[in-house]
Amino acid sequence: MPMNPKDKSLFKIAGPSTSIRVATYAALLMLLLSGCATTRIEESRSSTTQLAAGEAMVILGRATYNDRETEESFTDCLEDILSQGSNPIRLVGQKKFKNDLYPWFEPRTAPGNAGDLGRLFSEPGVRDRIRASKIRYLAWIEGDTVTIDSGGSMSCAVSTFGGGCFGMSFWEQDASYEASVWDLETLDASGQISADANGTSYLAGLVVPIPILARPGNAACKGLANQLRSFVGGE
């Protein structure tokens, strides 16, 4: 259909107004300033570690019966990073490990500290099963990501003629995780690595909702995985 010359005015009206442009620049600025998370990694080593060729590590999320628990997505993220890259680590999956050693690594029966490993290894079959899988290190992951602050407001409306969102909301998240590394050869604790990340995410409603996500959980995962890789690599 040929365009009516009068319709040109519509383009002017529909184009970005000054206020929308300012808001867009503000959103982009926020992306640069606040759309990131700050991460702090700390390591404490109590013995030398060295993952030999063919040896494996298993990553287990510490399960509890209270309302806080290490998310499965976090341990999955660690496994993804550690099993890839230029220096991949052979990992035994959490589910396979727990099934192979059932009932000794269930939330109720799993050893609470490295001192319990001796008792566990005296159970028939446990030592042999772990040695058969060539698992050298066990990393217990504890912690979670919580929202510590939130605010702002946003309202969205939908009708048969269209819809849109207006407003701004934000939430600040804190991700705090700790990995306790146990040596299944010496039956002792090798050390601990902690990762703390903090970031504020924004959701700006400019007709279309624009999320500016900080993802501190992801930042903590990357930081912890890289440190864990160098830790078991003896670096």
Partner 1 sequence: MRKDQRQGKYAEGVVKPFGSAIFVTLTAGLACLLLVSGCSHSITVEGRVPTPLIEALPLSIGVITQPSFNSYVHNEELPRGGGSWRIDVGQLNQRFFSTLFDAMFLTAVDAELEACRGSEAPVPSPDCPNGFVQVDLVEYAFLTPALSGLNFFSVSVKYQLTLFGADAQPLGDWIVTGYGKSESRAFQANKALNQASVEAIRDAGARIAIEWPKQAYVSEWIDQYILDRDGRPVM
- Residue numbers of the site for partner 1 (CB under 8 A)? 65, 67, 69, 71-72, 95, 98-104, 106-109, 123-126, 129, 160
As measured in angstroms, the least distance from the Cβ of 108 to partner 1 is 6
Which CB, 73 or 84, lies closer to partner 1?
73
Which CB, 155 or 160, lies closer to partner 1?
160
As measured in angstroms, the least distance from the Cβ of 64 to partner 1 is 9
Which CB, 21 or 119, lies closer to partner 1?
119
As measured in angstroms, the least distance from the Cβ of 184 to partner 1 is 15
Which CB, 8 or 68, lies closer to partner 1?
68
First to last CA, the chain: 69
As measured in angstroms, the least distance from the Cβ of 125 to partner 1 is 5
Structure tokens, 151: 């605010």
As measured in angstroms, the least distance from the Cβ of 85 to partner 1 is 27
Which CB, 101 or 175, lies closer to partner 1?
101
